[in-house]
Amino acid sequence: MFEADFGSRARSFMMRGVILLALFAIAAKLGDMQLVNEVIYGKKSEDITTRVFVQQPLRGEIFDLNGKVMVENDPAYEVSVIPADFKKSQLPALATLLNVDTTVIEKQIKIGESISPYFPVRVKRDIAPATLYAIEEHLNDFRGVYFDTEPKRVYVGKARAAHILGFTKEISESQLETMGDYYKPGDIVGYTGLEASYETILRGQKGYKYLAVNAVGKVMGPFDDGKLDIPPQDGSDLYLCVDEGLQAMAESLLAGKRGAIVALDPDNGGVLAMTSAPDFNPAVFSGYTSDSQWKKLINNPDKPLFNRATMAALPPGSTFKMVLASAALQDDVVNTDWTIDCKGSMLYGGRLFHCNNGEAHGVVNLVQGLEVSCNIFYYNLMLKVGFEKWTKFGRLFGFGQKTGIDLTNESPGVLPSKSYFDKIFGKDKWTNGYLLSLAIGQGEVSATPLQMAAYTMAIANYGHYYQPHLVNYIKDVRTGRMYSTQYSERTIPISREVFNKVREGMYLVVNGPRGTGGAARIPGIPVSGKTGTAQNPRGRADAWFVAFAPFEHPKIALAIMVENSGYGGAICAPMARKLIEYYLNKNGIKSSPVPESILASRYMHDFRHGAHPSYE
C-alpha cells in the first residue's frame, strides 16, 4: 500500500512539473513577442498588402488635313473602389459625396467582384473639384476608396464633325464579353465614328502602378520603390483628309435640316467633309454622361446619332441617270444621235408616266436629256438597255455594296436585279413597268450620300475609283514616325469617250441654257453636276445634287441630300456652289477654261452667240 501511495504522489509531482514548464515556456514566448520583438511583430500586425492601380494612357489626338487639332485630352478626376477592401457600411456616405444613387456604386462593385475583388473599379468619373476636396478630407474614413486622374476628350475647333469623330463612352457589360481581356469595368472605349474604328490605335497601352496598402486600406507608398511599375504608352495620333473649314461650312449649310453632305478629293478618295444633320455635341460624352442625357439623344425623333451620310439609303432620283447613260453608250445600245421626242408624258402598260412637272422637252438626245433631266428620254432608254445591263453598270459604280470607308457603320444600299425582284415580288410577278421607276433613280433602288459622292468622283476621274477614307496618316507619338494608310483603287471598264459624253451632260446641267442645276454655277469655274428629286412616302420629296469641279483635273466631288425639302436644283445646288467656291478659292484655283469639246458643239455655239437653243 505504501508503494502504491508513493507511486501516485510521484506521478502527480511529475505532472505538476510538466505543467509549470509549459507555462514558463508560454510566458517566455509572450515576453519575447511583446518586449524583444515588439517592433518586428508590430509591423507585421499592420498586414501590408499590394494593390495594382491602372495608369490610363493619353488617347491619341486627331488632326485635320492642315494639321489643326480637332480632338485632344485634358485631365479629369475619377473615384475608384477596390471591392475586397470596401465596407458596405461606407456606401451611403460615399454615394452622398459623389451625388449618385447607392445602386450605381453597388452595380460597379458587383461587376468588379466578378472579375477580381482586388482590382480597382471606377464608380464615378469627371468629378468636380469641390467633390474631390470633400473626398480628400474624408479619405481616412473610407476604406478601399481612391481617386486618380484620367484623360478626358476635349473637342476643339469650329467644326463639330460629330459623325466623323464619334465619341467615347464607358464600356458596357456586353462589350466586356467581346472586346478581350485588355478591358476592365469602367474603361473608356470608342463607341462610334473614328473613335470606334481606330480604337486599338487611339487607346494606347495601360500602365500599372503597384502600391503598398495596410489593413485599413491606407496607401503606405510605392511597393518595392516602384521597381515593378509599368508606365503607360500613349495612343497614336490620327491625321485626317478632312478640311475643317469646309466641314464647318457644310455643317452650317445643313443647320435646321435633315440631310447629309459628303465631299471627296478626286485625287485619292479622301473625305474632305462629311456631315449629317441633325448632329450632336460629342463633348456630351466626354467624362460623365447621365442617363437622362443619353436617353434624350437616343429617343430624339430626328435621330441625331444616326449618320445619314453613311447609313441613310434612299432613292437617289435623277442623279442616278448617269448609270443608265453609261450603260447605253458603253454597250452600244444607242449613240448620242439617238433622240426621243418628249411631249411631257408617255403611256406604258396602261399607265401614264410623266416627265418633270409634265414639261414637254421636245426632241432630246442623251446629253441633252441629262441637262434638262428628261424622264421620258430615260424611260425609253431603260427599255432599250434592259434590267441586266442597268444592274451590271450600277454595280461597277459601287452601288449595292459598301464603299469600305474607315467607319464602323455603313449601309450597302439596294441595287435591284432580276433575281432580287423575283425574290421580292415572285417569279413572273413583276413587269417592265417597274423598270421605268429605276430608270430615274426611284422605286426599289437606294444609295447613301457617301456612295453618291464616290460615284460622282469616279465620273470626274474618267472611271478611276478610289476607296473613300477619312484617315490619311497615323503618327506614332513615341517614335514620331508617320505611317500612311493604304486604301484600294480600281478602274471602271468604261471608255473615256463614254465618260466625255456623260461629263458633258453634267456640265450642261449647271451651265447649259436649260440646265436644272444653274444655281450651282460659278463664274470662271466650270462646275458639272446633276440634280435629283426623289419621292418620299413620309412627306415632301428628298432633294439631291451631285457635282464635281473644275471640269478638267477636278479637285472636289460631292453629294448633297436634304430630306423632305423639294427640288435638288433649288435646295442643294446653291449649297454645292458655296462649298465648291470656298474650297477651290482656298486652294488657289480661281478659274479654269471651259472644255473645248463642249464649246465646239453646235448647241453651245448657238447659245453663246445669242441664238435660241433648239433641241430639234
List of domains in the chain: 50-58+76-150+175-233 (3.90.1310.10), 308-608 (3.40.710.10)
Three-state SS at 145:
strand
- Return the higher-pLDDT residue of 583 and 45: 583
In this model, does residue 268 exceed pLDDT 80? yes
| pLDDT 10s digits, 469-519 | 999 999 999 999 999 999 999 999 999 999 999 999 999 999 998 999 999
| pLDDT 10s digits, 31-75 | 554 444 444 434 443 467 888 888 899 999 999 999 999 999 999
- Using the Cα atoms of residue 334, residue 380, residue 547 and residue 505 in order, give the sign of their dihedral: positive
In this model, does residue 379 exceed pLDDT 80? yes
Question: What CA–CA distance (Å, rounded) separates 46 from 213?
Answer: 9
| pLDDT 10s digits, 160-178 | 999 999 999 988 888 888 8
Taking phi first (over 0 means left), then psi (-120 to 50 degrees means alpha), and beta for anything else, what does residue 117 get?
alpha
In this model, does residue 541 exceed pLDDT 70? yes
Non-local CB neighbours of 60 within 8 Å, separated by 6+ positions: 198, 201, 202, 203, 204, 234, 235, 236, 237, 238, 477
Sheet holding 528-536: strands in order across?
A: 271-277, 259-264, 556-562, 539-549, 528-536
Question: What CA–CA distance (Å, rounded) separates 299 from 4?
Answer: 100
pLDDT at 180: 83
In this model, does residue 23 exceed pLDDT 70? no
Between 151-160, 176-185, 335-344, the lowest mean confidence (pLDDT) is in 176-185
pLDDT at 306: 97
Taking phi first (over 0 means left), then psi (-120 to 50 degrees means alpha), and beta for anything else, what does residue 325 get?
alpha
pLDDT at 265: 98
Question: What CA–CA distance (Å, rounded) separates 494 from 498?
Answer: 7
In this model, does residue 597 exceed pLDDT 50? yes
Question: What CA–CA distance (Å, rounded) separates 252 from 293?
Answer: 24
pLDDT at 6: 39
pLDDT at 24: 52
- Return the higher-pLDDT residue of 161 and 2: 161
> What is the chain's Cα-based Rg?
36
- Does this model's pTM top 0.85? yes
In this model, does residue 536 exceed pLDDT 90? no
| pLDDT 10s digits, 435-452 | 999 999 999 999 999 999
DSSP state of 35: I
The answer to whether 536 and 603 have CB atoms below 8 angstroms apart is no
Taking phi first (over 0 means left), then psi (-120 to 50 degrees means alpha), and beta for anything else, what does residue 553 get?
left
pLDDT at 217: 62
pLDDT at 148: 84
Question: Which amino acid is located at 352 in the chain?
Answer: L
